[in-house]
Amino acid sequence: MSQNNSSQYTWAGRFSEPMSDLVKRYTASVDFDQRMWRQDIRGSLAHAKMLAKQGIIAAQDLADIERGMQQVWEEIESGRFEWSLDLEDVHLNIEKRLTALVGDAGKRLHTGRSRNDQVATDIRLWLRDTIDDILALIRQFQENLLVLAEQEAATPMPGSTHLQVAQPVTFGHHLLAYFEMTQRDKERFADCRKRVSRLPLGAAALAGTTYPIDREFVARELGFDGVCENSLDAVSDRDFGIEFCAAAALLMTHFSRLSEELVLWMNPRFGFVRIADRFCTGSSIMPQKKNPDVPELARGKTGRVNGSLIALLTLMKGQPLAYNKDNQEDKEPLFDTADTVLDTLRIFADMMGGIEARPENMRNALTQGFATATDLADYLVKKGLPFRDAHEAVGLAVKRAEDLGVDLPELPLAELQQFSPLVGDDVFAVLTVEGSLAARDHLGGTAPTQVRAAIARARSRL
């Protein structure tokens, strides 16, 4: 293995030989953690401001650090910054450039902190920003979902259990189920954010620092809700990242379920929806194909996010206190999860405006599964028949309709009366799809009036 001068490392004085190139490549994280550069600079500026306030560094040092960091920010943002693998990570790259620009003031910046609490702070800042972006995108998805739900508030479709026709619902009511799921997702991310928003900086390597620092000041500067109160825990735990991945896995599971339905509904055997061409692809060999690639990919990417959650749980399960190099492996699963969730939310929010219902196919499907059978049973119960007897009578009626190749409303009155003398002329109002929908007129029910009321409540919750 070739070896290079390792004097660029802040810890090089302890070692008698330089780091090998192989180890350098194996241990470096700058290729993926450089995305936290904004958070690293923000954290360093707040730390420097606290050091100056406490008299640990001079006011001129603070001014030099702020001036140098402004230039570093501009260089990175413009793409002129030269990232170096030799400097391991985002933190050393920025500190080295700062020191080159402002001299000794840059070397004083690291007083009273360690890379252990620095990286923990950067991750929390980055994750807090990411959660805010996710919450905004969930809301955008929900707003567009509600527009479609309102358009289809009274559109009948088969509601299914076991993927078999069960009872009539409206398409708007079906869509609102995904509003409720994503509303809980929002609550989980917002709750996770509370535990993310705790400042680790000041824990230093693991035991705190001998300098008279003011952690509460830094927390206020960075908008944290509080500080991590145990220095060992502050630098070593990543439960906030695991919690984020768990919330992300649940959100992706909800979108995977929606994706599965969109794939089914777009199939000609269902034909319940059209998805705009801009969200679909064709086939390299079959010219007639229009493939729902976006839902299919979201369904596949859910496994990727689930894998990241398991990776982080496994990463942490055997670590003794305090910080271990294992924790460098926390970032790639975390970053990949965030990227996947953000991309999925953006495209699904847009795709909601590209979904068109096909009501005639939904209605036709309702004639193929005896969707109003439960309504007939309820009708007989209201006439005085015990439910179990009503259930048996309707089962026999369904069998007769199946033998004749007709739906229940198409059975003549005389046929229906063979199964119960309680059946009267009013039964056909009960057996219509519209009658079935209208009868479920209660909070959470699928009656169009209730669907519209639910949409109004959903908008107020946003």
The domain tally of the chain equals 3
What is the pTM assigned to this prediction? 0.92
**β-pairing, 198-199 with 226-227?**
parallel
| Res. 21 pLDDT band, cuts 50 70 90 | confident
Q: Confidence band (pLDDT; 50, 70, 90) for 28?
A: confident
Kindly state whether residues 104 and 191 are assigned to the same domain: no
What integer pLDDT is reported at residue 5 of this predicted model? 43
Residue 7 has pLDDT above 70, yes or no: no
What pLDDT was estimated at residue 393? 95
Q: Tell me which residue has tokens 């955008």.
A: 140
pLDDT in tens, 132-147: 999 999 999 999 999 9
Is residue 159, in this structure, part of any structural domain at all? Answer: yes
Same domain, 26 and 104: yes
Same domain, 84 and 137: no
Distance CA 430, CA 424 (A): 11
- Residues 47, 71: one domain? yes
Residue-wise pLDDT tens digits, 58-72? 999 999 999 999 999
Q: Say whether pLDDT at 451 is over 50.
A: yes
Mean pLDDT of 240-262: 98
Could you tell me the CATH number of the domain that includes residue 314? 1.20.200.10
User: Which is nearest to 408 in space by CA: 431, 380, 426, 385?
Assistant: 431
Shared domain for 341 and 206, answered yes or no, is yes
422 plus 341 within the same structural domain = no
195 lies in the same domain as 316:
yes
Per-residue pLDDT at 3: 40
Q: Does residue 33 form part of some domain? A: yes
CATH of the domain at 453: 1.10.40.30
Please, what is the average pLDDT of the chain? 95
Confidence of residue 20 (pLDDT cuts 50, 70, 90): confident
Whether 318 and 244 map to the same domain: the answer is: yes
Question: Which structure tokens are listed for 291?
Answer: 């493939």
Active site residue 283: yes
Q: Is residue 10 part of a domain?
A: no
Final residue of a domain: which of 111, 146, 173? Answer: 111
Percent of the chain scoring above 70 in pLDDT = 96
- The candidate with the shortest Cα–Cα distance to 323, out of 237, 236, 238, 241, is 236
The catalytically annotated residue of 7, 78, 162, 284 is 162
List, for residues 381-425, the tens digit of each pLDDT value. Answer: 999 999 999 999 999 999 999 999 999 999 999 999 999 999 999
Burial of 426 by CB count in 10 Å (0-12 exposed, 13-18 middle, 19+ buried)? exposed
- 340, pLDDT greater than 80: yes
Helix (H) or strand (E) holding 270: none
Residue 189 lies in a domain: yes
Domain boundary among 318, 346, 363: 363
Same domain, residue pair 222 and 322: yes
Q: What is the mean pLDDT of residues 225-248?
A: 98
Query: In angstroms, rounded to a whole number, what is the distance separating the alpha carbons of residues 346 and 335?
Result: 17
User: Which of the pair, 28 or 1, is modelled with greater confidence?
Assistant: 28
Residue 404 CB: number of other CB atoms within 10 A?
A: 12
Sign of CA dihedral 65, 67, 68, 70: positive
pLDDT, residue 10, reads 60
> Is 409 found in the same domain as 282?
no
Instruction: Of 17-21, 159-163, 438-442, give the lowest mean pLDDT range.
Output: 17-21
**Structural domain for 448, as ranges:** 368-461
Indicate whether 6 belongs to any domain. Answer: no
Q: What is the pLDDT of residue 26?
A: 80
Identify whether the C-beta of residue 308 lies closer than 8 Å to the C-beta of residue 333. yes
Confidence of residue 18 (pLDDT cuts 50, 70, 90): confident
Residues 214 and 133 in one domain: yes
> Confidence class of residue 11 from pLDDT cuts 50, 70 and 90?
low
Does residue 41 carry a pLDDT above 90?
A: yes
359 and 389 part of one domain: no
Pairing between β-strand 198-199 and β-strand 355-357 as defined by DSSP bridges:
unpaired
Let me know if 174 is a catalytic residue.
Answer: no
* 7 lies in some domain: no
14 has pLDDT over 70 = no
Domain-ending residue, one of 335, 363, 391: 363
- Give phi and psi for 80, each to the nearest 5: -90, -10
Per-residue pLDDT at 283: 87
Is residue 179 packed enough to be buried (19+ CB in 10 Å), middle (13-18) or exposed (0-12)?
Answer: buried
Q: How far apart are CA 352 and CA 182, in angstroms?
A: 14
